[in-house]
């Protein structure tokens, strides 16, 4: 992820959480604490009113009253953005499809516009202001109370109810996530905040386990890559079998050993720019099978390299 993306995620995190530790930021961003403090210095140099508090209960926070205003979009403006996201694709000659999708996602996440958008399958997707959800989530964390939530599944085809002990909320790759212990499954999980349609604070007291590590959770749950929309299949040569199979690349990953000794790695992503560079780093030892778009992009890069070195 770029430095600019990291700076933006720090700002958005501070805006909503108001107080965060350098350790938590380092775990969310996947960098060391020294890098986090360099980022903070960069933001201060840019006249962002960030304060730091040292000591045992130290942390980082924005001065009271500072707020990056969210766009007050009309229904027509938001629908136009959503429509543009569907129409402007690489297949139609638009080279910045991934950037547009990321931008539209962030607009939806911070928009104060109160709107319900009805999906084609009849389920209502809640695009309401995120502020009310955050107030209840952060209040429940502060008071150590479990919450009852109602949320859309990732496929957006059904509403599910769950009781959750909320450990924290993190902003990662353009999405807010509620991290908490789900009572029904007895598993610590991540929930997209934007897909939570209802949230209620209960009187059930909980204590976050002392051995819970946000960094380990992010590594184990999200893996190296992130997302759940586009299926990616990559075939690795036998020489890379041990390296690929012993690493957690993605929460949804499946590894299949092929008859010729190669390995097929499959998982789902939201965008492909990062994975393209990663695959190309393995040279001829890695072949993209799906999606065709990623395969074609790599073929294009290889052609440009061939021309360059000829």
In tens, the pLDDT along 174-208 reads 678 899 999 998 989 888 888 888 899 999 999 99
- What's the pLDDT score for residue 124? 37
Fold that domain 130-221 belongs to in CATH: SH3 type barrels. (2.30.30)
Answer yes or no: is pLDDT of 7 > 70.
yes
Q: pLDDT of 143-172, one tens digit each?
A: 999 999 998 875 556 788 999 999 999 887
Q: pLDDT of 8-18, one tens digit each?
A: 888 888 877 87
Q: How far is CA 69 from the centre of its chain?
A: 21
Q: pLDDT of 207-249, one tens digit each?
A: 999 999 988 888 777 666 666 678 899 999 998 888 888 777 7
Q: pLDDT of 284-302, one tens digit each?
A: 999 999 999 889 989 988 9
Give, in words, the CATH class of 3-62. Answer: mainly alpha
Looking at 45-49, 103-107, 209-213, 272-276, which range is the least confident one? 103-107
Please name the residues in contact with 1: beta carbons below 8 A apart, sequence gap of 6 or more.
29, 30, 173, 274
How many whole angstroms separate alpha carbon 96 and alpha carbon 260? 38
Q: What mean pLDDT is reported for the chain?
A: 80
Q: Is residue 151 a contact partner of residue 196, using CB atoms and an 8 Å limit?
A: yes
- What's the pLDDT score for residue 118? 40
Distance between terminal CA atoms of the chain? 32
Share of the chain above pLDDT 70, in %: 79
Please name the residues in contact with 47: beta carbons below 8 A apart, sequence gap of 6 or more.
none
Fold that domain 230-309 belongs to in CATH: Alpha-Beta Plaits (3.30.70)
Q: pLDDT of 119-135, one tens digit each?
A: 333 333 444 456 678 88
Domain locations in the chain as residue ranges? 3-62, 130-221, 230-309
Answer yes or no: is pLDDT of 24 > 80.
yes
């Amino acid at each position: 992820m770029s430095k600019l993306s990291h700076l933006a995620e720090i700002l958005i995190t501070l805006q909503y959480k108001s107080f965060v530790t350098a350790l938590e930021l380092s775990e969310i961003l996947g960098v060391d604490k020294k890098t986090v403090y360099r980022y903070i210095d960069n933001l201060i140099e840019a006249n962002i009113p960030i304060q730091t508090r040292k000591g045992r209960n130290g942390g980082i926070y924005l001065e009271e009253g500072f707020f990056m205003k969210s766009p007050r979009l009309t229904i027509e403006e938001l629908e136009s953005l959503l429509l543009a996201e569907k129409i402007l694709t690489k297949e139609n000659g638009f080279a910045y499809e991934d950037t547009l999708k990321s931008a539209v996602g962030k607009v939806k996440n911070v928009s104060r516009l109160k709107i319900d958008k009805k999906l084609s399958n009849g389920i209502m997707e809640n695009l309401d202001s995120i502020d009310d959800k955050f107030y209840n989530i952060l209040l429940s964390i502060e008071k150590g109370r479990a919450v009852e939530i109602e949320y859309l599944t990732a496929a957006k085809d059904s509403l599910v109810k769950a009781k959750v002990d909320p450990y924290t909320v993190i902003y990662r790759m353009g999405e807010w996530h509620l991290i908490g212990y789900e009572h029904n499954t007895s598993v610590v999980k991540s929930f997209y905040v934007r897909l939570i349609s209802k949230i209620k604070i209960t009187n059930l007291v909980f204590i976050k386990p002392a051995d819970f590590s946000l960094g380990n959770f992010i590594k184990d749950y999200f893996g190296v890559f992130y997302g759940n929309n586009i299926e990616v299949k990559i075939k690795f040569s036998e020489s890379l079998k041990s390296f690929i199979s012993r690493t957690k690349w993605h929460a949804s990953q499946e590894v299949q050993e092929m008859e010729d000794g190669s390995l097929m790695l499959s998982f789902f992503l939201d965008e492909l720019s990062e994975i393209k560079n990663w695959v190309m780093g393995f040279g001829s030892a890695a072949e993209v099978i799906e999606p065709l778009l990623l395969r074609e992009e790599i073929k294009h890069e290889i052609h440009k390299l061939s021309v360059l070195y000829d």
